A and B are shown apart, each in its own frame.
Chain A
Amino acid sequence: MKTVITSTDKSLLNIQELKRYGGLFRYLSLRDVSVRYKQTKMGFAWSIIRPVINIFIFGILRYLVDRSSGFVESFVEVSAGIVFWQLLSTTITDVSNSLSTNSNILTKVYFPKLILPLSSLLVCLVDFLIAFIIFLILFFSFKGLPPWQIIFLPLVVGYGVVLCFGIGLLSATASVKFRDVKFILPFFIQILFYASPIFLSSEFILSMNIPSWIKVLYQLNPFVFIINAFKFCFYGTFENYDVTYAIVSTVITLFVLIFSVKYFLNFEKSFTDYI
């Protein structure tokens, strides 16, 4: 096996190499999972408590703002958004932090750096799975069995994770050089939260008396499509479904993913000069 290192090395994604480091990927993923709630009294119960608290807060808020449906009805709908949003937002944050939290490894050993953001995904999914079970129980007890559209669920979840991975990767790469990103990101996520149909349905937002350009902007947000798609899996109806916006959302997602991976790989080899 011959290895060549040159200053003009332009090679990008090396799948073969990524495979060789599969073991590292596995152990880093497992490390993140087993460390997440170490030295907390309640351990993985936190994966349940955090979304439950959020569901209560925003369930009540929703009922106060939008009385078009009953309390239980809006409560269940909000919990769908919250549980899924928790996955999306932690994915963005964890992927974004994956490089700086592992900078000690980064500067001491060689490995394909893409492993770090990838390995931070597992813990987000584990958290989601736990919270999701709570949501399922809630849904079954108030709404009964979900419709056949539930089969799209893995697709929707995967789609959301891909978009958030892209955003997180973009922010992770940029934050190697510009630590400012670390401070901007929480605001960005907060804005996304309110600009997505999580506690207020998109129907409610679009029926509000606001300038139409804001409504267009709102619908261009790929998260509107993604979260409505998640609800579609449980309710069988797609709120404000519009092919144009579905396409726009998909294009944005693909663009973010491709661009972020390319940006990351281009910049990967000089990480150690900055971090």
Chain B
Amino acid sequence: MSEAAIKVENIGKKYNISHRSRSTNDSLLSALGDGFKNILNNKGSRTSVEEFWALKDVSFLINKGDRVGIIGRNGAGKSTLLKILSGIVKPTSGRIEYEGKMASLLEVGTGFHGDLSGRENIYLNGSILGMSKKEITARFDEIVSFSEVEQFIDTPVKRYSSGMYVKLAFSVAAHMSPDILILDEVLAVGDAAFQKKCITKMNELSTSYGRTVLFVSHNMNTIRSMCTSAIYLEKGNVAATGALDKVIAQYQNYFKENVSKGISVGIKHLSESGEWEINTDAQITVSWEKNRFKPGWHCDIACYSFDGIKVFALQSHSFPGFSSMDPESNAITFTVKNVGFSNSELRMDVGIRNNADEPYSIVVENCAVLSPSDKGLPQYARQDVLVIPQTSCKANRYE
């Protein structure tokens, strides 16, 4: 039985969103006015304050030495959770207990001051991150050489290029030594070479003996390579927690069938295992209610890797023999063969328009995630390779 490092019990965070006038209670005068009104009316006069729970009843346990990835869509409460854990934001309900020294890295270069030199900023930023002067001095040379800005260490950082700035900032953060490390998706800054260095350093930091790490990221590959388990947040609740593969699979399942803005996107894998293996097809079906678009509609999809690189885009009308002239048609199926996508999940945007000259009448971003399996893929092909998908597409009718 391993020791618990962090115990989170029923954490909730409530925000009040006021709807009527945006400035209610923003100024002393209106607050005073409201106050007087309240006295006169003997009841609250502020109208329609909606309660919004960014987190609700979140409970979990993290063992010492665990490296936990926190995943979830934008707005699921990941950052709020990290802020509560690191003590920046006070929870509305619940209780958190943890053992040891905690450091959180929610931003690169917190407290950097442009007028101070690189040297001064290392000390300032280090002390903001909770390092003592002794610790900073002991690691100073290491920090400087890691940052690759030795030459400019006595120059005010406002004269730095933005690349130099983040490199220095990251270097300070990378040399902390807490028991519990909280990381938002801040690593990998600078140019490609430095990014690689950052990730290696982060891995080293988080895998070094006994350290507990909480890590928020949208990149499933980074999560897979760095973490031992995961927590999946959905609309402020814990949707799944536990073994990495199980939780990630559940997270991705969410995207397989998605309805948004009246557009429904479904993904079906035509392989025996039900995964998008190499040389098998995935059918991406986009459908909408009848008569929403005129005959002759165009439907385009684009898939991006999680670091934002467009991997492929398909336009219905570029397929020979494709027709969307059927007045009853209200769906389209793209068939995409996996010819070697293995390195990352692909997120998908869909756009539909009435004809080629018009702008899209509807665009749904992040409507689905394609997750290629690397089963059956030769080892040498698991590197960064450029692939051109084999695709076909046809218009359907759905009742």
Contacts and interface: CB of A to CB of B under 8 A. Distances in A.
B146 interface: no
A59 B129 CA distance: 48
Contacts of B12: 7
B292 interface: no
B225 to A, nearest CB: 26
B102 A3 contact: yes
Nearest to B93: A7
Contacts of B98: 2-3
B132 interface: yes
A28 interface: yes
Contacts of B106: 108-109
A56 B199 CA distance: 61
B21 to A, nearest CB: 16
A104 B28 contact: no
B96 A4 contact: yes
A180 B90 contact: no
B123 A27 contact: yes
A23 B128 CA distance: 9
A7 B97 contact: no
The main secondary structure of chain A at its interface with chain B is mixed
A150 to B, nearest CB: 36
B318 interface: no
What is the interface residue range for chain B against chain A? 35 or more
Interface string B46-86: 00000000000000000000000000000000000001111
A272 to B, nearest CB: 5
A6 B96 contact: yes
Nearest to A32: B113
B91 A5 contact: yes
Interface in B112-131: 113, 115-116, 120, 123-124, 127-131
B7 to A, nearest CB: 9
Nearest to A9: B90
A105 B107 CA distance: 10
Given A31-B120, A270-B90, A1 B99 contact: yes
Contacts of A4: 95-97
Contacts of A23: 127, 131-133
Contact of A179 (B27, B87, B88, B156): B27
A39 interface: yes
A104 B110 contact: yes
14 contacts: A1-B99, A1-B101, A3-B87, A3-B97, A3-B99, A6-B96, A7-B95, A23-B132, A23-B133, A107-B88, A109-B104, A179-B27, A272-B88, A272-B89
Interface of A: 1-7, 9, 23-24, 26-28, 31, 34-35, 38-39, 102, 104-111, 178-181, 269-270, 272-273
Given A1-B99, A24-B128, A273-B90, 13 more contacts: A4-B96, A5-B97, A7-B95, A35-B115, A38-B156, A102-B111, A104-B111, A105-B110, A105-B128, A108-B106, A110-B88, A180-B27, A269-B90
Question: What 10 pairs across the A-B complex have the smallest Cβ distances?
Answer: A110-B87, A269-B90, A180-B28, A38-B115, A5-B96, A178-B28, A108-B110, A27-B127, A24-B127, A6-B95
